[in-house]
């Protein structure tokens, strides 16, 4: 993943969990892509969070007890959550989003819209299924593991 210096990113929790090795259905190439992406975001990017702590709370639930680069990312966000050139908090309005099927991941989309950020995804197929919605909002989604982020013909 190519990270522009000081570019803004909303990182879906599945990226950090995959980097930690929690996504047992993916190969090492996908896990490495997640590790590399998180390291790049930490070194050169700006993490965008919502000001209502929805994203941070999900990180706490999914990453607090993990081991790996995903947990390192979580600790980086917590340590730098008030350092604006590393982590930026933005207001979000979930009700202003157009109809979509993102469910609990709407908070990531709303933060990306408000923060003019890209979404980084590893394994969640809902981002591909909502590509028209994200495009209509001017939000691009970086698919680190596209083969794991697409619904299969069997509905998996």
pLDDT in tens, the chain (156 residues): 666 667 999 999 999 999 999 988 999 999 999 999 999 999 999 999 999 999 999 999 988 888 999 999 999 999 999 999 999 999 999 999 999 999 999 999 999 999 999 999 999 999 999 999 999 999 999 999 999 887 654 344
Q: Are 43 and 9 in contact (CB under 8 A)?
A: no
For the chain, domain boundaries: 8-143
The DSSP bridge pattern shows strands 118-121 and 8-11 to be parallel
Q: Structure pTM?
A: 0.92
What is the DSSP secondary-structure string of 64-133? Answer: TT--SHHHHHHHHHHHTTT-TTTEEEE---GGGSPS-S-GGGHHHHHHHHHHT-EEEESS-THHHHTHHH
pLDDT at 5: 66
pLDDT at 65: 82
CATH 3.30.450.90 fits 8-143, yes or no: no
pLDDT at 32: 96
pLDDT at 154: 38
User: Smallest Cα–Cα separation from 116: which of 6, 9, 27, 2?
Assistant: 9
């Amino acid at each position: 993943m190519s990270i522009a210096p000081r570019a803004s990113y909303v990182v879906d929790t599945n990226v950090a969990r995959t980097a930690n090795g929690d996504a047992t259905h993916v190969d090492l190439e996908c896990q490495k892509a997640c590790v590399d992406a998180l390291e790049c975001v930490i070194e050169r990017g700006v993490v965008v969070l919502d000001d209502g702590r929805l994203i941070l709370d999900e990180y706490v639930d999914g990453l607090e007890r993990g081991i790996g680069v995903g947990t390192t990312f979580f600790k980086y966000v917590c340590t730098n959550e008030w350092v604006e050139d590393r982590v930026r908090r933005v207001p979000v309005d979930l009700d202003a989003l157009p109809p979509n099927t993102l469910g609990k991941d709407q908070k990531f989309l709303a933060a990306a819209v408000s923060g003019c950020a890209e979404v980084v995804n590893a394994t969640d197929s809902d981002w591909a299924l909502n590509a028209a919605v994200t495009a209509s909002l001017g939000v691009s989604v970086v698919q680190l593991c596209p083969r794991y982020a697409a619904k299969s013909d069997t509905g998996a």
